[in-house]
Chain A
Amino acid sequence: MLEAVGLVKRFGGFTAVDGCSLTVAERSMTGLIGPNGAGKTTLFNLLGGYYRPDGGQVRFKGRDISRLKPHQRFRAGIVRTFQIPHEFARMTVLENLTVVPPGQLGEGLAAAWFWPWGVARQEAKIRARALEVLEFLKLTHVKDNPAEALSGGQKKLLELGRAVMSGNRCVLLDEPAAGVNRALLGDLTERILDLHRIGYTFLIIEHDMEFIAKLCQPIYVMAEGKVLTEGTMADIRRDARVVEAYLGHSGAAA
């Protein structure tokens, strides 16, 4: 469904992503792991259209989307979250969600001015949906607070909430579990599985191996900008190169 073909990204003389190829099959939950600085987030930025690749291609549903801008990739059906939360700081938590859904009538000035009833009707639906998502994320009590006032973990949840509000079925999650408490993590896992069951496709970056093991298959391992290997958790644990990649760096071993 989503494919990276030999992607390259350089920053000055440093090659952060060095000929990466991976395939996210439709309705799969693909994992992406690797030590800090491996190039995982940079790869996401290439997939999402935030960087222009220095080489290679991004393909989605068989189509080359390398030239599409981020908002066009969203419209094509891909949505991503950010490792470092990108909340709309001075907007309320609820607004952070209601702004997302595509195809809002009131995003056109003509409808905003002259057809407020139509806009209001659609707004009511979007708001109800956003409240549901907040309920699930256990953020209902802060819905009217500015997003900048959320804790780090809550901001991560809001990232996920925005992805869910998009309705897009190809979801790229950059460390969704980081900073989220254990109790909620269980729920989060369940919700991702629910979405998976109804046909969503996920590509998930995560350092939490338990989380990855529970959800993802296959799992890609990246190190120094390259894909080292790919397989099930069991395959990866047996792979000497993977152990070496982790221990050879900061020692953030699996």
Chain B
Amino acid sequence: MTLDSLALYLVSLATMGGIYAVLTLGLNIQWGMTGLMNAGVAGFVAIGAYTTAILTTGPSASHLGGLGWPVWAGILAAGGVSAVLALPIALVSMRLRSDYLAMATLGIAEILRLVVRNEDWMTGGPRGIAGLPKPFETLGTPVSQLAFLGLVLGMIAVLYWFAERAHRSPWGRVQRAIRENEVAAAAAGKNVEAFRLQSFVFGAFAMGLGGALLAHNIKFIGPEAVEPLIATFLVWVMLIAGGSGNNRGAILGAFAIWTLWAATEIMTAQLPPELGGRAAYVRIFLIGLALQLILLFRPQGLIGERPPKPLGQID
């Protein structure tokens, strides 16, 4: 590997880590701040990715849309559609206890996966949607890659700002109270369902954005990209590893686990050919092992939750 290609590899690694950081921030809003166990992250990633794919690609007979919107509009719409679709889900499921919410979201994500795979007229079915525009591409290597990384990092920064402000405000305090003891939160006059709904929708918005970035990054979206393993399990591992309840922890966890995930790819490439077919399982096993070690030795994550400084004590 030459130095140039190594540098490019690191940029693409950071880009993917950053896209996952967007997803992990979304999950942190739902689970870390409020205790909503969303086991269907992949569903919202799919909504975001396919929304922008349908809106920004050129006209095509093999899937819905092809409206040729600009990329920025597609990405924002992806967040918006994801949030809007989260609303009815939230309305019916915010009353559920967290383990039932996990089952409900898991089921919904699975339904979406089947829709994506089978509704060819809309999603291109198993062939997916290709030819998404990637912004900055006219700038050539390596500027275009760096610019896209910049876009991802900028998105993280904006999202972090919104998430952190919310976390440090009375809104976030109520969310944590609900997470700790929903009966006592209701006894303190808080409308538990309404608060949960806001958190769920806010988190879903972030996941939709992340899904859109994912699709634009590889200029393609297909059913494999929104498999629960890739889009739900990894995000959960990232959040737990980084520190649930801590926005910085969520970002750090995403980059750390994505790096590890990429490393397992390099490691499994060294496997003898007769094991090569099992590489995918070995990678999952290694990530699972990492999760176990974290839970054993650092259950609070790399940067655990700490009481946020209230607004005004910093600003």
Contact = CB atoms under 8 A, between A and B. Distances in A.
Nearest to A89: B180
Given A107-B171, A120-B315, 16 more contacts: A71-B192, A74-B189, A75-B189, A79-B187, A82-B187, A91-B173, A95-B307, A99-B174, A99-B188, A100-B188, A100-B189, A104-B170, A112-B170, A119-B169, A120-B311, A123-B170
Contacts of B310: 98, 120, 123, 127
16 contacts: A48-B187, A82-B183, A86-B183, A88-B180, A89-B181, A91-B176, A99-B177, A105-B170, A106-B169, A107-B170, A109-B198, A109-B202, A120-B310, A120-B313, A123-B310, A123-B311
A92 B181 contact: no
Report, nearest first, the 10 A-B pairs whose CB atoms are least far apart.
A120-B312, A74-B189, A112-B169, A106-B170, A86-B184, A88-B180, A70-B186, A106-B169, A104-B170, A100-B188
A71 B186 contact: yes
Given A71-B190, A166-B188, A166-B189, A95 B173 contact: yes
A71 B315 CA distance: 31
A40 interface: no
Q: Chain A: interface secondary structure?
A: helix
Contacts of B172: 112
A145 to B, nearest CB: 10
A47 to B, nearest CB: 12
Nearest to A172: B187
Contacts of B166: 109, 112-113
Q: Chain B CB within 10 Å — which of A112, A113, A117 has the most?
A: A112
Interface of B: 162, 165-166, 169-174, 176-177, 180-181, 183-192, 198, 202, 305, 307, 310-313, 315
Contacts, number: 118
Contact of A71 (B176, B189, B311): B189
A10 interface: no
A86 B311 contact: no
B170 A162 contact: no
A87 B189 contact: no
Interface in A3-37: none
A162 B184 CA distance: 10
